[in-house]
A and B are shown apart, each in its own frame.
Chain A
Amino acid sequence: MICLLALIVFGFLGIFSLKYRVIALEALDCVFRRVTLRKCDTGLDQRLKSQITGNLMRRNPGVGRFMFKHFEVISWFFTILLVLSLAQSGLGIYNFVAYGNCNGKGSDEFCIFDPLSTRNNQDSSTQLLTQCTVEGVEANPENLIKPEIGASARFGNKDAKVTIIEFGCYTCPYTKQAEGVYEKIRNDFGDETLFIYKNYPINTHNNSYQAAIAAECVRIDKPSEFWAYHKALLENEGELTNNTIISLVEQTTSVDIDSFNLCFSEGHTENLVKKDIRAGEKSFIYGTPTLFINDEALVGPKTYREIKKIIELELKK
């Protein structure tokens, strides 16, 4: 059994070094002989057994003796462990290729194949999740229901096969973090998708609701300039005051500031924001951003690769 273990381990190491390749070939010969009910005559099994046991004996004779006596059983144990690990790794690779995430669709768990992903930054992601969670709603992705498109902000082709609906909050750092990826998705997929943004201001956040009203005011006046203002609001996520909200309109849009001030101060677009919130409640949104790609729901910021994979799968359907 040690030969099978050696074949797997040294076979992998052999990719990088000729030295290990020679041992792997020896192990292969040994495994082949055992499979064909012959004795392994390379001596590799004895060599490995004596080296492992001998090194243990030098440090702790008792442990060495235990290893010697139960070498075959221990070899089996590690072989099974290795095979299971390899199977798990294989599944991870499959998930990564198929869904852009080695833990399966929409998972927020650590993924070693994607070390730069935000999901791997556990400390900040825990903090962000706390900050962007809706109180009183069970955090259960199973409950999420795709909303109607409604009259919310949109980008792309209204007849597109794939509809992407985002629930976001302008004062949520998580929504801010995801925006870069979403913007690239909008740009790269263009008319292949219809991207909808729905306001879901977290009720514990200051100025989140006002920012949503302001964004809708810009959209009502100049729909084509909504996305630039939307981006500007998120870029200033930590510093949103009424003054910032107004000055960003001046900096990023050609909207008439007087008519904007009127819209903003009198809350002309509040009904649009409330409609989005109601849609969010019906969809059991428990945190922002939440993304629906057709019926597929993703909570929290995901990598571009992950979202792209899902869109491509939906486009192929």
Chain B
Amino acid sequence: MNVDKIRKDFPILQKKDPVTYFDNACNTLRPTQVMNAMNEYYEEFPACVGRSHHKLSRLATEATNNARKTIQKFIGAKKTEEIIFTRNATEGINLIANTLSFNPQSIVLSHSKEHNSNHVPWLRLQEDGVIKHETYDWSSDVFNLGKFEELMSSKVSLVTMGHTTNLDGTTIPAKEVVRIAHDYGAKVLFDSAQSVPHHEVNVKKLGVDFLAFSAHKMMGPSGIGALYINEKNFTELDTFLLGGDTVSETTQDSYSLEKPPKRYEAGLQDYAGMIGFGAAADYLKRIGLKNVEKQEQLLNKHITEALIGKVEMIGPRDSLLRGGIFNFNIGGVDSHTVAGLLDSAANIAVRSGVHCQHTWFNKKGLDGSVRASTYVYNTIDEAERFVKEINKLIKLKK
């Protein structure tokens, strides 16, 4: 893999003194291919999909169908109907939370490093008395399947977990989690916002029931994401938003629902976003997710080895367990200050604060942390620059 060649696809990286972008767990940069694909929709066929019978509409329908097919193949889904376009992973999770029917007092099980997106919807259901929300305490470096299974029972109706956490980049043993959950009759939903962009995810191999992810974390446009629903579960879900495109027939007093995915895609959709999403998946596929993973591991290894012991790390010390994420604190210096200094002094973009992981930080009594998250277009030179700047900031304390 030629990183320099990849970087040429990103206009922002071609500027003089380009930013060292290490905030990829939040939002990734976009290649020209994605922007061109979106522009093509607006310039060539900016029409409604599946509604009108003119040429432009046919082109738009074909392009969005292709995008859906690309996404389907990207995650190894069996059918295109299993791919529901959403605004983002959060909306996908909320869709399941609002449409899956739960038995009274059934348990929904998550782990302790959940993003708010996969935490708050379940708290809300608990408040409403619909479910009981329980948490697997993931405090060890490696996810402990034994302890997880101890929490499983026939009362657990849904296991919903962050596949790879945005906190420290650790990944759950997804296949085993699905197997155990299914053994107890529970459905499984993965928040895969941080996994699909960074390593190969195959929903068929995993056997997962639902899987939500976002385009903006995989070089795609903002405001578009997808929810995979295993077709076996269509009958178990209620409707979410209703309106245009979700129904095949209406009378004054009744309506007939469309089949998925249309049933769950109410109103006029972000067609350019869908097409851009497809282009991003294509782009990543061409690079190869194994190469993406390898590059992230290489960079994280370099950073970790250079800074271990000098900063207060969050997560396992072994960089291989953390994908592309290096989360840390420089003792005594506020995380926002560190991020601001990196930005203004060295043009390095990182994330600071609690990363939508308020629960975890509150439990640990921490105000926040600095998160550097790499991606396939980041280089060893950038990692070295980052290390050099962090070393300078460490001296600020002295």
The answer to whether the Cβ of A51 comes within 8 Å of any Cβ in the partner chain is yes
Is B340's CB under 8 angstroms from A55's CB?
Answer: no
Asked whether A55 lies within 8 Å of B345 as measured between CB atoms, the reply is yes
Contact-size category for B: 10 to 19
Q: Is B396 within 8 A of A68, CB to CB?
A: yes
In the assembly, what is the distance between CA of A54 and CA of B395, in Å? 14
With both beta carbons as reference points, the residue of chain B lying nearest to A48 in the complex is identified as B340
Alpha-carbon distance between A58 and B392 when the two chains are bound, in angstroms: 11
Measured CB to CB, the closest approach of chain B to A59, in angstroms, equals 9
B343 within 8 A of A: yes
* A69 to B398 CA separation, bound complex (whole angstroms): 9
Is the C-beta of A90 less than 8 angstroms from some C-beta in chain B?
Answer: no
Q: Is A65 an interface residue (CB 8 A)?
A: yes
Flag if B396 contacts A54 (CB, 8 Å): no
Residue A49 at the chain B interface, CB threshold 8 Å: yes
* B392 contacts A50, C-beta separation under 8 Å: no
Would you list which residues of chain B between 325 and 374 have a CB under 8 Å from chain A? 334, 336-346
Contact A54 B392 (CB under 8 A): no
B250 shortest CB reach to chain A, Å:
46
Give chain B residues whose Cβ lies under 8 Å from the Cβ of A58: 344-346
Judge whether B336 and A54 touch: CB under 8 Å. no
Point out the residue from A46, A52, A65 that lies within 8 Å of B396, measured CB to CB.
A65
- In Å, the complex CA distance between A49 and B334 comes to 11
A49 to B340: give the CA distance in the assembly, Å: 8
Cβ of A54 and Cβ of B343 under 8 Å apart? yes
Is A57 within 8 A of B392, CB to CB? yes
Query: Provided the pairs A46-B337, A50-B336, A50-B339 are in contact, do residues A65 and B395 lie with their beta carbons within 8 angstroms?
Result: yes
Alpha-carbon separation in the docked complex, A53 to B392 (Å): 12
Binary contact track B360-398/A, C-beta < 8 Å → 1, others 0: 000000000000000000000000000000001001100
Which residue in chain B gives the minimum CB-CB distance to A65? B396
Query: Contact at A61–B392, with CB atoms within 8 Å?
Result: yes
B336→A69 contact, CB < 8 A: no
Residues A51 and B396 in contact, CB atoms below 8 Å apart: no
Once the chains are docked, how many angstroms separate the CA of A51 from the CA of B339?
Answer: 10
Q: Distance (Å) between the CB of A49 and the closest chain B CB?
A: 6
Query: Contact: A54 with B344, CB < 8 Å?
Result: yes
Q: How distant is the Cα of A52 from the Cα of B345 in the complex, in angstroms?
A: 9
Q: Does A190 lie at the interface of the complex (its beta carbon under 8 Å from any beta carbon of B)? A: no
Residues in chain B near residue A57, CB distance under 8 A: 341, 344-345, 392
Chain A positions within 8 Å of B338 at CB level: 50
Cβ contacts under 8 Å, A53 to chain B = 341, 344-345
User: Within the complex, what minimum Cβ distance (angstroms) separates B385 from chain A?
Assistant: 13
A61 to B395, CA, bound (A): 11
Alpha-carbon distance A47/B338, docked complex (angstroms) = 10
In the complex, A69→B345 CA distance in Å?
A: 16
Q: Please state if A46 and B336 are interface contacts (CB–CB under 8 Å).
A: yes
Q: Chain A nearest CB: distance from B151 CB in Å?
A: 35
Distance (Å) between the CB of A153 and the closest chain B CB? 70
Q: Is A106 an interface residue (CB 8 A)?
A: no
Are the C-beta atoms of B340 and A51 separated by less than 8 Å? Answer: yes
Please tell me if A238 contacts chain B, counting CB pairs below 8 Å.
no
Complex interface: chain A residues within 8 A of B344 (CB): 50-55, 57-58
Q: Per-position contact with A for B304-344: 1 when CB-CB < 8 Å, else 0? A: 00000000000000000000000000000010111111111
Q: How far is the CA of A196 from the CA of B76 in the complex (A)?
A: 104
CB nearest to B396 among chain A residues = A68
Q: A57-B345, A58-B344 are known contacts. Are A50 and B337 too (CB-CB below 8 A)?
A: yes
Q: Distance (Å) between the CB of B275 and the closest chain A CB?
A: 34
Contacts of A54 in B (CB 8 A): 340-346
From 46 to 88 in chain A, residues with beta carbon under 8 angstroms from any chain B beta carbon are 46-47, 49-55, 57-58, 61, 64-65, 68-69
Given known pairs A46-B334, A64-B345, the reply for A69 and B340 (CB within 8 Å) is no
A47 to B344, CA, bound (A): 10
For the A-B complex with A46-B336, A65-B396, A68-B341 known, give 8 more contacts whose Cβ atoms are closer than 8 Å.
A43-B336, A50-B339, A52-B344, A54-B341, A54-B342, A54-B344, A58-B346, A61-B392
Interface residues of B (CB under 8 A from A): 334, 336-346, 392, 395-396
20 contacts between A and B (CB under 8 A): A46-B334, A47-B340, A50-B337, A50-B338, A50-B340, A50-B344, A51-B340, A51-B343, A53-B341, A54-B341, A54-B346, A57-B344, A57-B392, A58-B344, A58-B345, A58-B346, A61-B392, A64-B345, A68-B396, A69-B396
